[in-house]
Structure 1
Amino acid sequence: MHAEWRPMTVAAWIRRNAHWRRDKLALVSGDRRYTYGEFNERVNRQANGLLAEGLVRGDRVAVIANNTSEAVEALGAAAKAGLVHVPINFRLSPREVEQILTHSGARIVLAEQEFAGLLDGIGPCPDLKRIIRHDPRDQGGSEHEAWLAGQPDAEPPVDVTGEDDLLIVYTSGTTGSAKGAFFKQKHCVAHAPVPALVYDIREDSRLLMVYPHNSIASMNMYYIPAWMQGATVVLADARGFSAERWLGQVERERITHCHLVPTMLIRVLDSGAVGQFDVSSLQTVGYGSAPMPKHRVEELSATFGNILVQGYGMTETSSIAAALDKAEHRRALAGDGRRLASCGRPVFGCELRVVGEDGHDVKPGELGEIIFRGPYIAPAYFKDPERTAQTIVDGWLHSGDLAELDEDGFIYIVDRKNDIIISGGFNVASKEVEEVLCWHDAVREAAVVSRPDPEWGERVHAFVALREGAAADAAELIAFCRDRLSRIKCPDRIEFVEELPRNALGKLVKGDLRARARARAQTESQAQARQPVRGDA
């Protein structure tokens, strides 16, 4: 009788690399460099240590750290021990950290010493058993290293399967508390071929990880595909992106692959420093998480060559759900430039539809909501049946993104549902106005939100960050828009800011900007109410 076939696991990929590629470089973390053999031994020690703490299959282990080896090893250890990895953004407040620890029921927290203070201000978390601190600057004296040294490096005694729970990734969402997208090993394994195919990740690839370790992109676009292929991951500091620092790391580590948010790539372009570094090793530069103005894509292609790939997805889709690959970038640059505004077509394993309010597919050119289905879509939000039911309907994940399809199946994101501005009954896509503002030579980036208006319901309110050394005033930018957009779409207020607010993944936090716009509208309304009526004494 044949044994039942079971899907590959993340644990098996790590173990396999230790046998097949024992002396190959697996991970670079600051000054530390680990081969696959060494990496596997550290992962085993951590997995065995967690089990020795009394954790059992399905228990949650949280990690608060910058991009460090320990954070990467924690994912591998969870995969091998049948535990659930809960990565936490170190930029959160103690209150937010407490909410995640309590909601997830984390038993252990692995905390980088620099951010351990976040845990000092939290209240009692009923399930939390222990905090283990590590310090990349003091390897010999850290609690974590002493703890690891006392554990065996043998394979942990857990026979994990694709059905074992692996990840809870908390997303900020647009409103309310964070929600935890929940994944099993089989979901991450099913997604791993996607970045390998789309970004052409191979055994000799060297991936520079700039995103913070707690993002789904870090785990499902970097670590796990690299382990599947036996590639090398190089960690970058997730704080304060610097164009020069990034270029220097690309040159020094001969990086072949990297994925950045548009803001980062624009900073690289505007730095004027590209020519000072040898970046000839680059084979693929991905971008996503936010819109990229078409003229900037053209500038990047002229600077780096045909190495760009745009990825579109969300935490709940395990990362990439659609892509505009290198070939399509090349065709768009040589012909129909409009396609550069597309985020591409659905990737391997993902079903994607654009539907109207009635749930039926819209025709090409019509506006609808993107919905997804596939083997790597998150099946639920952890301990949150209400939001799960709101988001996953009849097996289809509803994205909240509004888009159009063309005749060839390319997707054009128009806006988030929450970002549509309804002014005088007319729908205004904030993305369209933002792109026009970015055409102005003085504008580095722009964000457009709604502002309450007693006559029109909502008006268009823009926040603009200027390029260094550039000058422009609000009247000039409003006039610039009126030459290129219908009047109803043009902003009637522009506020200048040094930087737009973004989360750890570089996504714009429009909720903060909406609050500022509402506050300004309220202040103006109160000021008008205090004005004396003509004829008053």
Structure 2
Amino acid sequence: MTAAHHRSPLGRATLGDQLRRHARNQPDKVAFVAYDAAGDRTTTTYGELDARANRFAHLLLGHGVGGGDVVAVMARNSVDVVALYYGTLKIGAALTVVNVLFGKQEVVQQIDHAQPAVVVASEEFELLVPGAPLVFGPSLTADLPDTEPDAYVDENDVAMLVYTSGTESSPKGVLIPHRNYLISTAPAWSWGLQTGPEDTWLFVMPFFTIAGLGSMTTLTLMGATLVLPATVDPSGALGIIARERVTVIAQTPTFYLALSGQPDFGADAVGTVRRCMTYGGQVPPAVIEAWSAAAPDVRWGTYWGQSELSQLGTVGWFATLDDIPGGDPSWIGRPVTHLEARVVDAEGNDAEVGELICRSPSVMLGYHRDPERTEAALGSGWLHTRDIVRVDADGNLFFQDRLTDMIKSGGMNVSSQEVERVLHTHPDVLRAAVVGRPDPYWSEAVTAFVVPRPGREPDPAAVIAFCREQLAVFKVPKVVHVVGELPVDAQGKVLKRELRKVELPT
């Protein structure tokens, strides 16, 4: 093979190539429907998106950005961010997105760690970003060509530098190459999540997470239509779902809970939705019941994944809770077609309950500038997920807990999620989170935080008695705290580290 042939796009598989193909094959297909803060609606076709991405590519080239560099962006979800992302990929650089909820110190920490060649920000975040970032605006790419940039990109080049959510420890920068999505993640979405170009997604996952950046990547690779609201307030979301005839939603249980609690929730609002996918926790039974009443044809997809796996690992589908194997709501489905999974004990032996370890073309390259944690995660030849699961005889997987969330109480292991599942069945409890709190006698005391259902007032003693009827005595919460809300991150995942350190009444 000649060097020229090797460097040509003839048989190359990169993300920017696929956007160019969409622009050639379906230039008028709507890629994005965006709503601004005032509620004004704009559309962007795949042809227009490719042209905007090319202009951003030329902008970056003009600022000296090249292959192997990192571009950082701090902005809310927008088509401009998507165009910047694809423009970055078209010149062989990688994009990292800074959490818009960060304070200045956290922003500086991520920028220092990522070491970007250029930072781009929206005007509202300009002063949070160190140095002099480029600022999104009409003049930023004006007069730049919309032709394909002259740059070589390899499918093994890093496409995205995604920082983990840090719900348990300091965030890690996950390095994901182009090839992962084209040969593994996108096909797994097609077969496992039954996703295709005919879908219209309500897209509220922030781009600074793997759920946001990764899902956007997969859906644009497939040529689907994404609906981007400026805000994610439940009332506004319901109106957009009805107006755009949204067919798919993917979000954490918190979001579905919020939608189902709106006065306008019902068939008129969500009647076009056919698939509701959820991750990052268990959907309370009350939420399933509310959605089933409003949209009887909706199917629920439970899935599990990690940034380190380029997002997707397992998938399972159900229409009602009766469809879940064994009636166990901790079910996260079965491995997608591209995933080889094992459940192992502390010695690495196959086990019914243990750590989930994986091999897949989706596995990350490693952690950015962190060889020790990379070796710990990948050194055995398997990705160590640090998630504890149970596997049944049919290969179904049931999420037990994060290794860091497993409670050691009185010498016994307690799964916080098992206790939470019981709490979610209490008639007065809407949401629950369970953590281990330091205790001089138990080492860690099983401690529950519960949010009441509307109009209800859970009695802590009664909740504890309820748990005693269904759990082994060592798993029963030692104390129950009734709270108005649980601390969550931008995706709605409960921040258990915050619950472990909150000051409680004595």
The TM tier, using the shorter chain, reads over 0.9
Residue number in structure 2 paired with 1:133: 135
| Counterpart check, 1:282 vs 2:273 | yes
Equivalent residue letter for 2:340:
E
Aligned-residue offset at 1:85: 0.4
- Superposed displacement of residue 115, structure 1: 2.2
User: TM-score by structure 1 length?
Assistant: 0.87
Distance 1:105 1:440 in 2: 49
Return the alpha-carbon distance in structure 1 between the equivalents of residues 227 and 101 of structure 2. 22
* 1:147 Cα deviation from its structure 2 partner: 2.0
Pair 1:358 & 2:347 matched: yes
* Equivalence map 1:75-86=2 (5 Å): 75-86=85-96
CA distance in 2, matches of 1:513, 1:335: 30
Structure 1 position 345, deviation (Å): 0.3
Secondary structure in structure 2 of the residue aligned to 1:79: helix
Please state whether the residue corresponding to 2:364 is helix, strand or coil: coil
**Segments of 4+ in structure 1 off by > 6 A?**
none
1-structure distance, mates of 2:356, 2:283: 19
Match of 1:319, SS state, is coil
Deviates further, 242-251 or 46-55: 242-251
* Deviation, structure 1 residue 54: 1.1
- Equivalent AA in structure 2 for residue 292 of structure 1: V
User: 1:473 — aligned with what?
Assistant: 459
Q: 184, 189, 195: which one pairs with 1:201?
A: 195
Matches of 1:338 and 1:178, distance apart in 2: 34
SS in 2 for 1:409: coil
Q: Which amino acid aligns with 1:378?
A: M
Matched residues in 1 for 2:316 and 2:117: separation? 41
- 1:19 aligned onto 2:24: yes
> 1:250 aligns to what SS in structure 2?
helix
- Residue 495 of structure 1 corresponds to which residue in structure 2? 481
Question: SS at the partner of 2:493?
Answer: coil
Q: Where does residue 312 of structure 1 map in the other structure? A: 304
CA–CA distance in structure 2, aligned partners of residues 281 and 343 of structure 1: 25
Tell me the equivalent position of 1:390: 376
1:192 aligns with 2:181: no
| Displacement of 1:174 | 4.5
Counterpart amino acid of residue 69 in structure 1: V
Residues in 1 aligned to 2:347 and 2:289: alpha-carbon distance in whole angstroms: 38
- On the 8 A contact 1:443/1:467 being kept in 2, the answer is yes
Instruction: State the partner residue of 2:362.
Output: 376
Instruction: Name the count of aligned residue pairs.
Output: 494
| Matched residue SS, 2:125 | helix
Is 1:341 aligned to 2:330, yes or no?
Answer: yes
Write out aligned runs for 1:438-453 (5 A): 438-453=424-439
Distance 1:429 1:340, change over 3 A: closer
Decide whether the 8 Å contact of 1:7 with 1:186 is kept in 2.
Answer: no
The one-letter amino acid paired with 2:396 is F
Counterparts of 1:402 and 1:185 in 2: how far apart (Å)?
A: 29
Residues 192-201 or 305-314, more deviating: 192-201
Q: Quick one: which of 89, 107, 111 aligns to 1:97? A: 107
Give the residue type in structure 1 aligned to 2:89: A
- Provide the rounded CA distance (Å) in 1 between the counterparts of 2:292 and 2:329: 11
Report the alpha carbon displacement of residue 176 of structure 1 after superposing the two structures with TM: 4.2
Q: Contact 1:188–1:318 at 8 Å: present in 2 too?
A: yes
Q: What are the superposed Cα offsets for residues 339-371 of structure 1, whole Å, 9 maximum, x if unpaired?
A: 543100000211111111111211xxx320011
Residue in structure 2 matched with residue 401 of structure 1 by the alignment: 387
Q: Report whether the alignment pairs 1:216 with 2:218.
A: no
Q: Flag the 1:407–1:337 CA change in 2: closer, same or farther, 3 A.
A: closer
Kept in 1: contact 2:437–2:444 (CA 8 A): yes
Using the alignment, how far apart are the partners of 2:392 and 2:349 within structure 1? 16
For the structure 1 residues 234 and 157, does the alpha-carbon distance in structure 2 shift closer, same or farther, using more than 3 Å as the test? same
Letter of the 1:488 partner, please give it.
F
Is the contact between residue 452 and residue 484 of structure 2 (CA under 8 Å) also seen in structure 1?
A: yes
1:11 match: secondary structure: helix
The match for 1:146 is 139
In the alignment, structure 1 segments of 5+ residues that lack a partner are 123-127, 135-141, 525-537
Amino acid at match of 1:347: V
Structure 2 residue runs of 5 or longer lacking an equivalent are 36-40
How far does residue 330 in structure 1 lie from its aligned partner after superposition? 4.4
Instruction: State the 1:276 CA deviation.
Output: 6.2
- Displacement after TM superposition at 1:111 (Å): 0.8
Residue of structure 1 aligned with 2:225, choices 220, 227, 232: 232
The equivalent residue for 2:38 is none
Instruction: Note the 1:25-44 alignment, pairs <5 A.
Output: 25-30=30-35, 31-44=41-54
CA 1:407–1:297: 2 relative to 1, 3 Å = farther
Deviation at 1:429, TM superposition (A): 1.0
Given that 2:314 and 2:332 are in contact with CA atoms closer than 8 Å, whether structure 1 keeps it comes out as yes
Deviations 1:229-264 (A, max 9, x none): 221111123x5x433222211111111121010111
**How far is the alpha carbon of 1:427 from its aligned partner?**
1.4
Q: Is the 8 A contact 2:300 2:319 kept in 1?
A: no
Over alpha carbons, which structure has the higher Rg?
1
Partner residue in 2 for 1:59: 69
**Structure 2 residue 18 is the aligned partner of structure 1 residue 8:** no
Kept in 1, the 8 Å contact 2:288–2:320? The answer is no
- TM-score normalised by structure 2 residue count: 0.92
Asked if structure 2 preserves the Cα contact closer than 8 Å seen for 1:391 and 1:397, the reply is yes
Residue 243 of structure 1 aligns with which residue? 234
CA change 1:352–1:294 in 2 (3 A) is: farther
Distance 1:147 1:377 in 2: 36
In the aligned structure 1, how far is the partner of 2:416 from the partner of 2:68?
42
2:305·2:312 contact (CA, 8 Å) conserved in 1?
yes
Taking a change above 3 Å as real, the CA distance of residues 7 and 308 of structure 1, as seen in their structure-2 partners, is farther
Which residue does 2:154 correspond to in 1?
161
Q: What percentage of aligned pairs have identical amino acids?
A: 34
In structure 2, the partner of 1:258 is: 249
CA RMSD of aligned residues (A): 2.1
2:338–2:361 Cα contact (<8 Å) kept: yes
Structure 2 CA distance for aligned equivalents of residues 335 and 98 of structure 1: 45
